[in-house]
């Protein structure tokens, strides 16, 4: 038993066989062999190992991710700002900086007018044709289409010159017929004197009396014509 070598110990004069002894220990059951330092990766070598060609370093890849994310967020903010458009100031002042004017009014009780604006055709309940009393050329129209009018309102003016001329002619005719009536009346008085003297026939006196009556009717007609022309001028 004493001559059998101990597998747990190595003779001091044989250091080159250390690796083989470790192998023997590994083959020996019940003995755990610690890992060899050569089996661990070299940390310094791993850190300084160059990245594969065409692939950026890890720090650079992280920076590029943050930069792309920042650009996307900035583009989204700009899109929202331009979409919303300019906002009106809510400070109670104009953009020039002056105070906003405020108006006041007195409260009054009354009916609120309702006005509806639209396109359409208006059909009246009743239609009345308005004409002038006389014919003539219009020189003035004092109303607009659709205007509310009342009885007696001035609507239009007709050229009055033709009716002024007609009035003058009627007055001249009246003067002429009045002169003829006066002459007939003078002859009637003379015929009465001659009949009293039996100088003329009674029939001549009767004829002259009828002439006077006829001229009197003519004068009255002339006066009526004058009144008509004056009335036309008032229209």
What pLDDT sits at residue 7? 45
What pLDDT sits at residue 49? 54
> Which residue did the predictor score with more confidence, 7 or 189?
189
Average pLDDT, the chain: 77
Reported as a single tens digit per residue, the pLDDT across 62-85 is 788 888 999 999 999 988 888 775
What pLDDT sits at residue 104? 86
The helix (run of H) or strand (run of E) holding residue 191 is helix 161-196
Are 24 and 31 spatial neighbours (Cβ–Cβ below 8 Å)?
no
Sequence-distant (≥ 6) Cβ neighbours of residue 94 within 8 angstroms: 100
DSSP output for 67-127: HHHHHHHHHHHHHHHHHH-PPPP-SSB-TTSPBPP---------PPP-----------S--
Are 134 and 158 spatial neighbours (Cβ–Cβ below 8 Å)?
yes
What are the structural domains of the chain?
162-234 (1.10.287.470)
Residue bearing tokens 């009396």: 209
Mean pLDDT value across residues 149-173: 90
Exposed e or buried b for every residue in 177-192, given b needs 16+ CB within 10 A? bbeebeebeebbeebe
Sequence-distant (≥ 6) Cβ neighbours of residue 100 within 8 angstroms: 92, 93, 94
Reported as a single tens digit per residue, the pLDDT across 16-64 is 544 444 444 444 444 454 555 444 444 444 444 555 555 556 667 778 8
- The alpha carbon torsion through 15, 16, 19, 22 (nearest 10 deg) reads -40
What pLDDT sits at residue 91? 55
Reported as a single tens digit per residue, the pLDDT across 168-187 is 999 999 999 999 999 999 99
pLDDT surpasses 50 at 224: yes
Question: pLDDT exceeding 70 applies to what percent of the chain?
Answer: 69
With CA atoms as reference, report the closest residue to 144 among 135, 133, 155, 157. Answer: 155
pLDDT surpasses 80 at 13: no
């Amino acid at each position: 038993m004493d001559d059998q070598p101990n597998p747990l110990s190595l003779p001091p004069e044989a250091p080159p066989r250390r690796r083989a002894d470790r192998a023997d220990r590994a083959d020996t059951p019940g003995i755990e062999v610690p890992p060899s330092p050569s089996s661990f990766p070299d940390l310094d070598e791993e850190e300084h190992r160059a990245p594969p060609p065409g692939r950026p370093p890890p720090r650079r890849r992280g920076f590029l991710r943050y930069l792309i994310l920042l650009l996307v967020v900035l583009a989204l903010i700009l899109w929202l700002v331009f979409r919303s458009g300019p906002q009106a100031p809510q400070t109670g002042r104009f953009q020039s900086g002056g105070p906003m004017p405020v108006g006041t009014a007195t409260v009054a009780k009354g009916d609120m007018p309702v006005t509806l604006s639209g396109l359409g055709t208006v059909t009246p309940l009743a239609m009345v044709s308005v004409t002038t009393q006389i014919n003539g050329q219009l020189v003035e129209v004092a109303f607009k289409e659709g205007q509310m009018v009342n009885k007696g309102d001035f609507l239009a003016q007709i050229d009055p010159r033709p009716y002024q001329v007609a009035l003058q002619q009627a007055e001249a005719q009246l003067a002429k017929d009045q002169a003829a009536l006066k002459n007939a009346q003078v002859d009637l008085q003379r015929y009465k004197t001659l009949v009293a003297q039996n100088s003329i026939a009674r029939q001549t006196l009767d004829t002259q009396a009828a002439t006077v009556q006829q001229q009197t009717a003519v004068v009255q007609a002339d006066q009526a014509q004058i009144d008509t022309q004056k009335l036309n001028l008032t229209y």
